[in-house]
Amino acid sequence: MFHQLAAIVFPLFAMVAAGFFYGRRHLPDMAVANRINLEIFTPALIFSVLSAKDFQIAAYANLALAGTLVVLGSGLIAWPLARLAGWRVKAFVPPMMFTNSGNMGLPLAVLAFGEPALAAALVLFLVENTLHFTVGNALLEGRIHPGMLLRIPMLQATLAGLAVALLDVTVWAPLAVTLDLMGQVAIPLMLFALGVRMTRINFKDWRIGLAGAVICPASGIAIALLAAPLLGVTGQQYDQLLVFGALPPAVLNFMLAEKFNESPEAVASIVLMGNLASMLTLPAVLAWVL
């Protein structure tokens, strides 16, 4: 079991570590690379998977709903805890809800469950990402921008991929290969960029960071355990839902906290300590489900 777990998590954390140490030494500006990944490579990956002939939309409906419950349920648990502890709700609740379903969730699914599991991981990633740009923005800004959603390349690729799947359209083979190759860039670049981004955050507010490192996976797993039998999520999708619930806070939480000036130092500590703690929690959850 140890060798199996090491084979799954080592490539993941090794890529993040490579980005961290490279970032510490060279201080690269990843803004352009991250933008290209979000606007080109990740949309190509999404469209490539969703438009594939073996992707059946109906097979993931309950998983998508369960993922929605995990995200929203984690927020409902975190909200009163933040009030009791005296922490700013806008600083503590979003990182408990919105996790690294892209940077960690996608490669982890492939390494743990194989290439066929990528479709389910993408569904969960899209659920989390859509909620982040709607509910998450509403938490921080007080309103939702529906028009902004339609301008996000990842959601455009999602709609296009779903349309192709529903209409049973065959994508021209050379185009499909091109998009597949572009999509293969997305996951390694996500991991490397995560490592570089981790060089910018610190342990200043370690108490709230430590609390977040415990509450984030605990609440996610608890809601996943409740939602799965309720919605009939079984088999490998059940395992992936548990892993989804155990993922650490997304780095995007820190970036948005900076943008809206919502205790960015505290959010930085939550993100850093949550991702460090995932080196223990994720192998434990994988040992449970495998």
Cα–Cα separations (whole angstroms), residue 164 to 48, 65, 126, 154, 178: 10, 22, 17, 15, 17
CATH code of the domain containing 205: 1.20.1530.20
At 193-214, the pLDDT tens digits run 888 888 877 677 888 999 999 9
Instruction: Specify the pLDDT at position 209.
Output: 92
Instruction: Specify the pLDDT at position 66.
Output: 98
Domain that holds residue 51: 2-289
At 204-251, the pLDDT tens digits run 788 899 999 999 999 999 999 999 999 999 999 999 999 999 999 987
In the chain, the number of structural domains is 1
Which residues have C-beta within 8 Å of that of residue 208, sequence separation ≥ 6? 85, 87, 91, 92, 266, 269, 270
pTM reported for the whole predicted model: 0.87
